[in-house]
Structure 1
Amino acid sequence: MSLLVAVTWQTQPWVERFKRLLPDRDIVVLEQDFDRSAIRYVATWGPKPGSLSGLPNLEAIFSLGAGVDHLMGYPDLPDVPIVRVAQDDLTHRMSEYMVLHCLMHLRDQRRFDEDQKAKRWNPDRAPPIAGDVRVGIMGFGVLGQDSARKLKMMGFDVAGWSRTPKDVEGFQVYAGEEGLTPFLNRTDILIALMPLTPETQGMLNRSLFEKLAHDGRLGGPILINAGRGKLQVEADILACLDDGTLQAATLDVFETEPLPEDSPLWTHPRVTVTPHNSATSEPDATARYIAQQIRRHEAGEAFEAVVDKTRGY
């Protein structure tokens, strides 16, 4: 039985990782000749159209990351389970990012950075405490719930929103279209962790931002997007920052990546840009996770984190 590595970046490091973890398997890449009938598993990110076709004995496709939008709409996608990465390493990295940036906004750290550059001593008034700030997390799956727990430990008032109802101990979770407006109305810092689907594309727009709370302690609502770049309408973000609909934004993902040099997001004084690294998948941990899933499957156990293809995540 063979594992096919189909990626758009350098393949050899992934081949070497899987050979160490699965020494009893043939690890092959698209660029070489191989027996397509021997392929049981594919580990992939952004495969070329047609490259996954003609694998008659394929049993599963593993996405080399938490997202699977790169596979949704893929031509001739084989009808087998798609398994996304749902490892603790990635989850903890995302929670670190959310705690960091919520605290940066709470303590107005960007202003102090500017004061330091200007050699300006400006203690000003005391900032609000975390308990005075309402954080709302859109996308309340594994990543969202772990971030919520850690932000709550810091004292933030945290709630979640999900497309479908969820019962998560310790948190109010709003759901569906009927829950979206009341969720936004109580939110000072909006964290976006939704998957990219036809329903969520462009969801972070002016209409949504205008429903955020404007009576909070931070001077206006704040957006943190570490989900997918195409969730956001960047022209709306910029316009809302300029007219006060938004107070600030931290963006880790963008409509076009890498972020073009001429994008005004780079230099906007109320925008923090990070290079899509909020929860970068650590390659060795990702490979271990996939190898474990293969062993589970062959021992008669179910795959973990199987994608619901009708929902796209």
Structure 2
Amino acid sequence: MSRPRGTLALLIHGGTDNWSPERWKTRFDAVCADRPVFLLPDETLDPAEVRYAAVWKPRPGELAAFANLRVIFNLGAGVDALIADASLPKLPIVRVAVDDLTKRMTEYVVLHVLAHHRQEIYLRESQREKRWEPKTQWPAGAISVGIMGLGNLGADAAEALKILGFKVSGWSRSEKNISGVSCFHGMDGLAPFLKKTNILVCLLPLTAETRHILNRSLLSMLDRDSPLGAPVLINAGRGGLQNEAELLACLNDGTLGAATLDVFETEPLPKESPFWTHRKVLITPHNAADTDPDAISKYVAVQIERHEAGQTLQNVVDMRRGY
């Protein structure tokens, strides 16, 4: 007997506890109780039965095997690795946009803006060396935080930082308006945005236009006239956004005063990378906004129900823009 038309296939290549394929299968079984869910590879499944695929870093060519696939759900926020697959079927790709992920990213951004604002690198160094030498601490209102990328993640982080009293500005490809935030857009708005930014938070998607956008030329335009002494970079977007050789050189020569880096071009970060031991750098292992299987599986289930009811899918990737 043929299985129901709405079969969902899970293609998940993880390597960490949060990306355990079995963990995701358990969550999808719970929220798709009336729908067959298969964790691939599974020799009992006929590829022609698959209508939906929920994926994380599928191998190039894997999705092309499903001739009757209707929608692809990407389980993480970034879709650059997925759309780089030349064999990818020309189908709607739905990206994650849930409150849980957004709030986790806001927590991360606020944590690290505050860490640099409150001189945590200096204070922890003082602790290790047993030095009781506090420095003058300035108020949040003395610091301008600029956010590159004003989608769901950037807009929410901007609101939280604004409440804390920081001067907040934002830059995006297209025009955006957020109350109390100075918004810039397009290439004409990039330089004015950078010139008023003391702490730069990058939450951009990775596209052909944004690859290596965090380079010496851009970082040199950041405002240096603040109590920080030199500007700070926080990159919680994608590793490919940063030119790592130029970023390291900017840290070494004082163009940047410090950086928080959650993402890298090669992950896990190689043990020989100088970023690991750099005294001006805070490193996190790409966990700024870990995806929650419960929230995401429910989100996908609702999207499938909408699609089968003839309703419009939400948060479909614009393939022309790459996000």
Using the alignment, how far apart are the partners of 1:114 and 1:176 within structure 2?
Answer: 40
Using the TM superposition, give the Cα deviation of residue 55 of structure 1 relative to its aligned residue in structure 2, in angstroms: 2.4
Q: Which residue of 2 aligns with 1:21?
A: 31
Q: Which residue of 2 aligns with 1:185?
A: 195
Cα contact 1:102–1:189 (8 A) shared by 2: yes
TM-score of the superposition, structure 1-length normalised? 0.97
Mapping of residues 226-245 of structure 1, within 5 Å = 226-245=236-255
User: For 2:98 and 2:209, how far apart are their aligned partners in 1?
Assistant: 26
Of 9, 30, 45, which residue of structure 2 is paired with 1:4?
9
Of the structure 1 ranges 70-79 and 250-259, higher mean CA displacement relative to structure 2 is found in 70-79
Matches for 1:1-313 after TM superposition, within 5 Å:
1-9=6-14, 10-33=20-43, 34-125=45-136, 127-313=137-323
More off after superposition, 167-176 vs 63-72: 167-176
What do residues 32-85 of structure 1 show as CA deviations (whole Å, max 9, x unaligned)?
Answer: 131222211100011122211142332210001111011112122112110011
Cα distance in 2 for partners of 1:244, 1:50 equals 45
Q: Deviations over 1:147-186 (max 9, x none)?
A: 0000000000001100111222332211111000000001
- Aligned to 1:116, the other structure's residue is in SS state helix
How far residue 307 of structure 1 moved from its aligned partner, in angstroms, is 0.6
Range with bigger deviation, 48-57 or 268-277: 48-57
Cα displacement (A) at 1:13: 2.2
Give the AA of the match of 1:4.
Answer: A
Superposition deviation, residue 234 in structure 1: 1.3
Aligned residues: 312
Distance 2:179 2:237 in 1: 23
Question: Structure 2: how far apart are the matches of 1:12 and 1:102?
Answer: 36
CA distance in 2, matches of 1:46, 1:100: 28
Quick one: which amino acid aligns to residue 7 of structure 1? Answer: I
Query: RMSD value over aligned CA atoms?
Result: 1.2
- CA–CA separation in structure 1 for the residues paired with 2:279 and 2:298: 41
TM-score (norm 2): 0.94
Alignment gaps of 5+ in structure 2: 1-5, 15-19
Does the residue aligned with 2:81 lie in a helix, a strand or coil? coil
The whole-number CA distance in structure 2 between the counterparts of 1:75 and 1:64 is 20
Deviation track 1:220-265 (CA, whole Å, cap 9, x = no partner) reads 1100000000100111111111111101000000111111111110
In 1, the alpha carbon distance for the partners of 2:140 and 2:25 equals 46
Asked if 1 retains the 8 angstrom alpha-carbon contact of 2:259 and 2:280, the reply is yes
Contact 1:30 1:51 (C-alpha < 8 Å) held by counterparts? no
| 28-37 vs 108-117, greater mean Cα deviation | 28-37
Q: Amino acid of the residue matched to residue 172 of structure 1?
A: S
Give, in whole Å, the separation in 2 of the partners of 1:235 and 1:73: 24
2-side partners of 1:274 and 1:60: how far apart?
33
AA matched with 1:176 = G
Q: CA deviation at 1:202?
A: 0.6
Aligned partners of 2:173, 2:275: CA distance in 1, in Å?
29
8 Å Cα contact 1:191/1:223 also seen in 2:
yes
State the shift of 1:4 in Å. Answer: 0.7
**How many percent identity over aligned positions?**
53
Shifted more, 299-308 versus 276-285: the winner is 299-308
SS of the residue corresponding to residue 70 of structure 1 reads helix
Question: 2:162·2:180 contact (CA, 8 Å) conserved in 1?
Answer: no
Any runs of at least 4 consecutive aligned residues in structure 1 with deviations exceeding 3 A, and if so which? none
Unaligned runs of 5+ in 1: none
